[in-house]
């Protein structure tokens, strides 16, 4: 068994695709409209689905905003340098909500960014 994807419901698919591909540097792996169901699925990731878990962006036509609730946490992405990645994300128009630094009660360097729907993405600096 392996994890295939995480699904996020998004209000503006084009804005979300611009964030995940343009700001975070993922690739659009596939996209398909389902007119009878009135939704579109777009899969993004750093590697193809056969080798890596990806993110499924689900856009339900006519829905512009979702309540995130308090159960969702975040998606985590490993980066070489959290400070440099935050600067790059800001230059690309992304929103950093916690600058890079050691995590509370630990030494792992982390940062957080938000996508257009306010989903949080944690950047974890690679150790060593």
Between 20-24, 59-63, 70-74, 123-127, the lowest mean confidence (pLDDT) is in 70-74
User: What's the mean pLDDT in 8-31?
Assistant: 98
Mean pLDDT for the chain overall: 96
Cβ atoms 13, 40 nearer than 8 A: yes
Query: Rounded distance, CA 94 to CA 23, Å?
Result: 6
CATH of the domain at 120: 3.10.180.10
Query: Closest Cα partner for 29 from 7, 8, 57, 3?
Result: 57
| Domain limits for position 18 | 5-60
Q: What is the pTM of this model?
A: 0.91
Report the alpha-carbon distance of residue 52 to residue 77 in Å, rounded. 12
What pLDDT score does 89 carry? 98
Report the pLDDT value the prediction gives residue 70, as an integer from 0 to 100.
Answer: 86
Closest CA to 30 of 59, 57, 63, 4: 57
pLDDT of residue 96: 98
Determine the Cα–Cα distance for residues 23 and 16; give it in Å rounded to an integer: 10
- Round to whole Å and give the CA distance between 68 and 64: 13
User: For 95-113, how does the pLDDT look when each residue is reduced to its tens digit (9 = 90+)?
Assistant: 999 999 999 999 999 999 9
What average pLDDT does this structure show over 9-25? 98
Catalytic residues: 122
How many structural domains does the chain have?
A: 2
Q: Is residue 69 part of a domain?
A: no
């Amino acid at each position: 068994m392996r994890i295939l994807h995480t699904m996020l419901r998004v209000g503006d698919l084009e804005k979300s695709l611009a964030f995940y591909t343009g700001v975070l540097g993922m690739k659009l792996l596939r996209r398909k409209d389902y007119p009878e169901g009135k939704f579109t699925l777009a899969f993004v990731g750093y590697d193809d689905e056969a080798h890596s878990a990806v993110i499924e962006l689900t856009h339900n036509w006519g829905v512009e905003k979702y309540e995130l609730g308090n159960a969702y946490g975040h998606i985590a992405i490993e980066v070489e340098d959290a400070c440099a990645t935050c600067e790059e994300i800001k230059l690309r128009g992304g929103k950093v909500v916690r600058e890079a630094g050691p995590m509370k009660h630990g030494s792992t360097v982390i940062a957080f960014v938000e996508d257009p729907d306010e989903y949080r993405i944690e950047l974890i600096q690679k150790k060593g």
